[in-house]
Structures are given as C-alpha cells and as structure tokens.
Amino acid sequence: MNFHYYLLINPAAGSGAGKKVAEKMIPLFAEKKLHYSIQYSEYPGHDAKIAEELAKETLVEWTDEPQESESEFPLLVIIGGDGTLHQVLNTFYQLDVAFPVAYIPAGSGNDFARGIGLPRNAEKALENILKTNKPQEINLLTYEEKVSDKQGVVVNNFGIGLDATIVHATNHSTSKTKLNKYNLGSFAYLFSILRVFFWQKGFPILVDIGGKQISFDKAFLCTATNHPYFGGGVAIAPTAEIAKPTIDLVVVERVNLFKILGIIFLLLQKKQMKSKNFHHFTTSRLRILSTVPQYGQEDGEDSQKQPFDLQLATKKQLFWCNVSH
C-alpha cells in the first residue's frame, strides 16, 4: 500500500522538544523518499484547527479492503506531546469522525507512548510506523462533565484533586520549561509534588462503579486512567491494561504525613496497592461526584477549580502502530 503522510507538528511541545524531533524526522522522510506534507501548529489550539481541516478535506476512514495499488492512503502523523494528541483526537471526537493516526512522541512526559508500548525514541517510533501494515485498536476514555457541560476523549487520565493540583502547579511554573531544555521534564512533576502534597486537603467524593456506590470523606487523589502511567512515568495503576475496554480508578485518602510518605515509598516500588488507604477499582462504567471545588486535569491539561459530576466510559481509536500489549 502507498501512503501520503500528513505531518502535524507542534514545535512548542515539550518546551521545544517538538521542534527538535521534527528537525530529525523531516530529513528521514525525505531520505526514505516518502510522500509527505507538513503543517506546523503555531499557537495554542492551532493543532485542533489543523486536525479539523484535515478531517473535512483530506483524511479518510480505514477499511480492511485492498486499496488500489496506485492510490495513496492519507495517514496523519502527529509529532508532539500527549497534549497535542489530546487536542487532535478531541477534534475528531467532536466531529464524530474516525481516522487512524500515527504518533511520534515529542512531549515532556510521553505517558501515552509508554502506556501502549510505543518507542519513545523518535527514530524508532518512525520505524514502527513504517513497518506497520494495518492500524491497531487502542482503548481511550470518554467523559461527560455535567457541571461545566463538557464532553471529550482522554488518552491518558482524568484526575481530580492532588494530581490535578500538581499538573496545575507544573503547567504554571517556570521549572518545567527550564528542565525540558535538558530533557528532564519529568522532574518538574516531582518538584510540584513536593510543593503541593503538603497543603492539598482531603475532600468528599462519591463514586459509582458499575452501579455500586462508594463514598470517601477525605479523598486526596482521584484519577481515572486507561493505562498504568501519569505524571511522566509514575505507575499510578500498575495493573491497568490499555488492551482492555475498562476504566481503572485510583482513590487515595488524605492521611497523616507519615502514611503519605509510606504510600509514596510503595508507589516507587509499584506496591501501592498494599496500602489500605490506596483504593483501586476496575470497571466499564464510572461516575464521580465532587461537591467541593477542586482542580481537574485531562491528559496534563489543567482546569480551574470546580465541583464535578463526571461520567466516564471507553471507546476505541485506531492507531498506526505495531505494538504488543
């Protein structure tokens, strides 16, 4: 099959990592005599606009039927971070269209690539794309938040409380930009954790897990995910499997400092489920109610404090990759 690769490049991803990765990739596309076009995201939200234009004018849905030998399949290749991927797939979700996408990670955390087993090295990620013959179905999360009347799709996780506060602090700090210049972006999350978890208070939530209601008086962290990782490689839900159409919910209760340090110690060893204050659930349907305003985050994009009435489910997305889960 012949392809025309439409490169959507976010040069600002990873505080400039997107630009550096693109500078490596474009000569490789030319060297391999691949047919390609390039569009750069030039401002916040521009990647979504580019994705909308491509969806309406260029991209076509995948079919397993043999393609004409002379025709070129238009394949979108996203070069950016998880936020870029989030924006593109949310654009497709709002337009109610389904196209396969390829992804070359160039962000700070690259949790999605880590979660599906995609090489985080750009050259190896390109090799993976070129040796792929057909797309794979990857499970993503969909959400409907009734308080803000917002719907969308999540490629990594949706968090309320501590992780969202950490994301908010990280995204609005200068350390993330400085550390990204030295490929140390993950440490920005660590610095934010150290700053935030001392003053993050517990808050009441009610979760409905497949029809079973459970309340927590002092939730500290509440994160729904479809694979193990968040925050740049932290395995918050080590048993989560993106190959399964399920939602993994993690709730950590606010306890004293000594117990929190104990949970962090277990987290670093991927043994956090041994703590009685660490709660993990797996379900196909999930609702989270939080009446006390908290920060929220979707794939590292933070939102202002608000109450939440959040419902989550799963959906399939075609990715042009060759990975085993």
The total of other beta-carbon atoms located within 10 Å of residue 139's CB is 19
CA–CA dist 100, 15 (Å, integer):
27
CATH of 3-134, one of 3.30.2270.10, 3.40.50.1100, 3.40.50.10330, 3.50.50.60: 3.40.50.10330
Helices 17-31 + 122-130 axis angle, to 10: 40
CB 8 within 8 A of CB 78: yes
Q: Rg (Cα) of the chain, in Å, rounded?
A: 20
pLDDT at res. 278: 85
Which part of the chain has CATH 3.40.50.10330?
3-134
**Domain covering 142-317: architecture:** Sandwich (2.60)
Residues 6+ apart with CB under 8 A from 15: 108, 176, 177, 180, 181, 185
Q: Output the pLDDT for position 277.
A: 79
DSSP state of 276: T
Q: Residue 258: enclosing H or E segment and its boundaries? A: helix 257-268
List per-residue pLDDT tens for the chain, 325 residues long.
899 999 999 999 987 889 999 999 999 999 999 999 999 999 999 999 999 999 999 999 998 876 666 789 999 999 999 999 999 999 999 999 999 999 999 988 889 999 999 988 999 999 999 999 999 999 999 999 999 999 999 999 999 988 888 777 776 655 555 544 545 455 555 566 666 666 778 899 999 998 999 999 999 889 999 999 887 788 888 889 998 999 999 998 887 766 777 667 667 667 776 677 789 999 999 999 999 999 999 988 888 899 999 999 999 999 999 876 5
Residue 93 near residue 142, CB atoms below 8 Å? yes
DSSP letter (8 states) at residue 209: E
Query: What are 252's two structure tokens?
Result: 């950590």
Are 46 and 73 in contact by the 8 Å Cβ rule? The answer is no
The segment(s) of the chain belonging to CATH 2.60.200.40 are 142-317
Q: Tell me the pTM.
A: 0.87
